[in-house]
Amino acid sequence: MNKVLPLAVLAFAILAFATLMLVILPAAQFRTVEPADGLEPYTAAEERGRQQYVDLGCYYCHSQQPRSPDQAPDLQRGWGRATTPADYVYDDPHVLGTMRTGPDLMNVGARMPSQGWHLTHLYQPRAIEESSIMPAYPFLFEIKQNPGENDVVVPVPAEYAPADGAQVVARQSALDLTAYLLSLDRTYPADDLELRDLGYDRTEAR
Amino acid sequence: MSLTIGTMMALSFVVSLIGLAFLIWAVASKQFRVDQSDAEVIFSGAEGEDHAPDDPTSFGFQRDAEPGEGTDTRHRKLIFALIGFGTFWLVLGSIFGVIASLKLHLPDWLTGSAPLSFGRIRTMHLNSVIYGWLSLAGIGVAMFLVPRLFKTPLRGVNLAWGGLVLWNIGVAVGVYAIATGWTDGMEWLEIPWQVDILLAAGGACFAAPLVLTAINRNVHHIYVTAWYYLGALVWFPVLFVIGNLPIHTGVQGATVNWWFAHNVLGLWLTPIGVGAAYYVLPKIIGKPIYSYRLSLLGFWALALFYSQVGMHHLIGGPVPTWVVTLSVVQSVMMFVPVIAVAINQHVLWGSNLWAFKQSLPLRFVAFGAVMYTLASFQGSMEAVRAVNTVTHFTHYTVAHAHLGAYAFVSLVLFGTVYYLMPILTGRLWPAPRLIALHFWLVAIGFGVYFFSLTIGGWLQGLAMLDASRDWLESMQLTQPYLEGRSVGGTLMTLGHLLFAINLLSLVFAARRSTDAVDTATPATSAS
Amino acid sequence: MSEQNQSRPEPQRSPLKESRFEPYEVNRPIPVFVLAVAVALMAWGVYTLWSGSGPATETAAREEAPTAGMAGDTDVANGQGSLLSVGASLFESNCVTCHQANGSGVSGAVPPLAGSRYVTGPADAPVQILLHGISGAIAVAGNEYDGRMPRFGETLSNREIAAVVSYIRQQWGHNAGSVTPAFVDEQRGRFPADRSPLSGGAELEAVTGISARLTRTAATEASQ
């Protein structure tokens, strides 16, 4: 090869073709997807909490995409049914995740519906599961000697509670994040199942 | 709908196959032969000459020769600055990486502030090493090689300096933004798009001089290294702009995310590494590459297949089957270009093992080239559905990513920098033994890192697939392996500190004896 | 060549200049085995795309769709399929996420069904919980819970609720009786369809007579 321009043009054309296949065509398919029946838009607090989830990088350890029962026992672990694009219509940016250093969270709001549990777990995961390697997030909380009437006091076991009898109080960021986690509930029926990867499904066609 | 989509997918693969078939036909029927004859004419003086390792770092080994015709000391400092800042980001990024690694088995360590939490420091690590270290050092190497390949002084040196300033500000602001929680929230695309404008402008300032140099070149033939560089200069801007457009939402965001993220590896970092290895291996050994036709096959098949592999990150996920399967197939097809590059490079160093005794840079570069082959084979296997079911969502993937981005690209860059710095400064490395120590630290450190996470990740994946075992087991059993990763990562970081010390000692030695450099400089450029 | 190489180095020369050698590529043909690998991979690729996902995408989608939604909707509506098998598939698609496949619930968050006196006791309790949902403090099998469960009164038919209640009353070693669609219909009549969720164990006690407190006998019953 001895010409710059043809090389550049062909290289560009190949990438443009790949972009068509991997970006534009899937986008055209997803564009027509309606939100699933049963999927609610996030409330303002949930959306703020979702931003916390993204800022703190929760999605580097937690996926939000249960696999089909034909591929993995995600359903039996209580993580929920396999998801479809209709379940993510309100998600921006997406937080599908690529790691399960922690469990899948697609349905954590349905699985763990208690605000207190989440607040305690965020303040100190090891107060709930001794072997957990999830980081503690003490900066989402403040320590108060005399919590006010509107303060949400976090039930922390004595072992992890502040020494001088003070109380752990959730900041707004912790409440928002918890609101988001509690909103994660895709237990309604799946829509548009043909738009997910069915490469593992054991059907008669195989 | 699905019928048309199925057709489109078949079409895509057929187009790729036709491309490959055409390429093989063109190569076999010698359509490219004219160019090769050019090359032989140009370099005929070189062949048959006794080929000694051209390597200023070797223990006591020295060689006299004509200066390279493309050498241009006008932009010497630019190359120093690119490599210097790259090394700064490497050291900083490695420290972030070690902190992140430690946090996975010391979860209550440094939990007091948000910037130090795992999710952020891990991301600062990734962005520092990808956009700081690998990109800057890679461009620095390109700035050294491109004028040589084209025997043409670098055009637009001042523009490139501007690019360096913009790029560094972009990375610094980007990493700081991530620390404060300002992020676009997609893996590999975390730097906010507003900051990415700086990087795009900086990137354009780097690309323009390289492309102008190529257009105004003084040789007819374009050597394979330059194909990779030119390809990367076309690809990366397209990827970067489309990936960062703030318009992708929902699952569609995920497809763009992984299309981008995997292509950054394949169409940006891979060309940087393969291109440098294609130059440094024959240059140090003093013998030609095995086959021009294999080079062609390796380059174009990389472009054809690699550009479509990204969706293997969403296997079993909420994206249509056709696009996942397409990426799986294209991932496996990657065997073709990888085997081509492997033969070209490994035959060369494999039949000249004597050179390893004399050249330290060769160790790094050849090691890196082998890791490219292994990383790509492993990547193809990981994309196969049966394997992916186990490895997806586990630390196995992290080991694989480091095999590619670190053991391959970083080691090739280390070797290339060790090769080029003495030529540029006109001084020998003050302590070659520290270079050897650097090599062993990163090689052993990486080995510990890789095998820990590969074994741990595989066991983690098996545990996660076993419905009779509690999910917690899959996390608990990785603990010793995560600790092993921290040990390996620490060794690698020590190696990087040594790399920085080596660079500093060379540059300061050069500065102390400015006279020596000044006398050496005219000798280098007067040919 | 290699003998030549061993005769070096010659250390007296300057180390700081580049060699005149410029890298280039020899004009060798592509090895046959590389072509063979390429052809084999192409054949594999065509096979995978053809057999794997082209046509199968459509078939799979069509066949999968019913099971993924409310499983067994049509079967139940048509009165086909045994009550228990329909209940099992409804349980898997609607309940497993929280209550787990083995009915153990989630420690500290979701009450277990296995061994729960609300499941095995009078059948109006599980039916009312399914119809209207429940929210608030409840004591099950020796532990206190404070969560919420959504209502299924609108999404499941009488026969479907009968199926899933019958299923959980006979799973995990339970031996309580089946529930008929007629019984569910009768339970629907007790409250308006749009009433608020039952407020925890306290209201359940009022509605069904099952003691909200974990008495010794209740605990014993739970551990059966």
Does residue C167 lie in a domain region?
yes
Confidence of residue A49 (pLDDT cuts 50, 70, 90): very high
Give per-residue pLDDT as tens, B392-409.
999 999 999 999 999 999
Instruction: Average the pLDDT over A180-195 and give the result.
Output: 89
Does A65 contact B at CB distance below 8 Å? yes
Q: Is C179 found in the same domain as C104?
A: yes
Closest residue of chain C to B358, computed from CA coordinates: C9
Residues C87 and C194 in one domain: yes
Q: Are B427 and B448 in contact (CB under 8 A)?
A: no
Tell me, what CATH number does A50's domain have?
1.10.760.10
Residues C82 and C47 in one domain: no
Domain count for chain A = 1
Pick among C97, C155, C160 to test the A interface (most A CBs inside 10 A): C97
Distance from CA of A152 to the nearest CA of C (A): 16
Q: Shortest CA distance to B263 belongs to which of B302, B224, B298, B301?
A: B302
Q: Which residues contact C36 (CB under 8 A, 6 or more apart)?
A: none
**Mean pLDDT of all residues belonging to chain B:** 87
Nearest to C69 among A111, A117, A190 (CB): A190
Q: How far is B63 from chain C (nearest CA, A)?
A: 5
pLDDT at B3 over 60: no
Domain presence at residue A4: no
CA distance A146 to chain B (A): 22
Which residue range forms the structural domain that includes residue B519? 73-525
pLDDT of residue B30: 62
Touching check for C144 and chain A: CB below 8 Å? no
Range B184-196 average pLDDT: 95
Q: What 3-state class would DSSP assign to B447?
A: helix
Q: Are B17 and B301 in contact (CB under 8 A)?
A: no
> Does any domain span residue C160?
yes
Provide the shortest C-alpha distance from residue A204 to chain B (in Å). 17
Least Cα distance to A142 among A115, A174, A110, A113 occurs for A174
**Closest-CA residue to B63 (of B428, B518, B514, B516):** B428
Q: At what angle do helices B321-333 and B335-350 cross, to 10 degrees?
A: 20
Same domain, yes or no, for C80 and C130?
Answer: yes
Would you call C17 and B10 a contact, using CB atoms and an 8 Å cutoff?
Answer: no
Instruction: Give the confidence band of B61 by pLDDT, cuts at 50, 70, 90.
Output: very low
Which 8-state DSSP code applies to residue B67?
P
Same domain, C50 and C83: no
The span from the CA of C84 to the CA of B53, in Å, is 79
CA-wise closest residue to B402 among B92, B134, B85: B134
Pair C64, C92 in one domain: no
B337-362 pLDDT, tens digit each: 999 999 999 999 999 998 888 889 99
Pair C132, C211 in one domain: yes
**Model's pTM, two decimal places?**
0.81
Q: Do A194 and C58 touch (CB under 8 A)?
A: yes
Residues C97 and C120 in one domain: yes
B215: CATH: 1.20.210.10
The answer as to whether C17 is a domain residue is no
- Nearest residue to A176 (alpha-carbon basis) of A60, A57, A49: A49
- Write down the ipTM of this complex: 0.94
- Answer whether C20 sits within 8 Å of B321, measured CB to CB: no
Distance CA B59, CA C11 (A): 10
- Please check whether residue A194 touches C, CB under 8 A: yes
Distance from CA of C35 to the nearest CA of B (A): 8
Let me know if residue A198 belongs to a domain: no
Share above pLDDT 70 across residues of chain C, in percent, rounded to a whole number: 73
- Residue A205 domain flag: no
CB contacts < 8 A, B to C, total 203
Which residue in B15, B50, B148 has the most chain C C-beta atoms within 10 A of its own C-beta, making it the best mutation to test that interface?
B50
**Would you say residue B50 lies in a domain?**
no
One domain for residues C96 and C165: yes
pLDDT at B376 over 90: yes
> Residue A153 is part of which domain span?
44-190
Domain extent for C124: 73-222
Domain boundary among C68, C98, C115: C68
Q: Does some domain include residue B28?
A: no
**Has residue C80 got a pLDDT over 70?**
no
Q: Among C39, C68, C97, where does a domain finish? A: C68
CATH number of the domain residue C149 falls in: 1.10.760.10
Among partner residues C22, C25, C56, which is closest to B292 by beta-carbon distance? Answer: C25
At B261 the pLDDT is: 95
CB-based contacts of B228: which residues, under 8 Å, 6+ apart?
B271, B272, B274, B275, B278, B299
C53 in the same domain as C96 = no
Q: What is the pLDDT of residues B229-265, one digit of tens each?
A: 999 999 999 999 999 988 888 999 999 999 999 999 9
The 8-class DSSP code of residue A82 comes to P
How many independent structural domains does chain C possess? 2
In a domain, C14, yes or no: no
Chain A interface includes C68 (CB < 8 A): yes
In-domain check, residue B220: yes
The b-or-e profile of C153-189 (16+ CB within 10 A means b, else e) is bebbbbbbbbbbbbbbbbbbebebebbebebbeebbe
Give the closest of C10, C12, C23 to B279, CB-based: C23
> How many domains is chain B partitioned into structurally?
1
Q: Chain B contact for A84, CB < 8 A?
A: yes
A residues 21-50 closer than 8 Å to C (CB): none
Same domain, C111 and C78: yes
Same domain, C59 and C169: no
DSSP states of B234-270: HHHHHHHHHHH-TT--HHHHHHHHHHHHHHHIIIIIH
**Rounded distance between C-alpha atoms, residue B219 and residue B68, angstroms:** 13
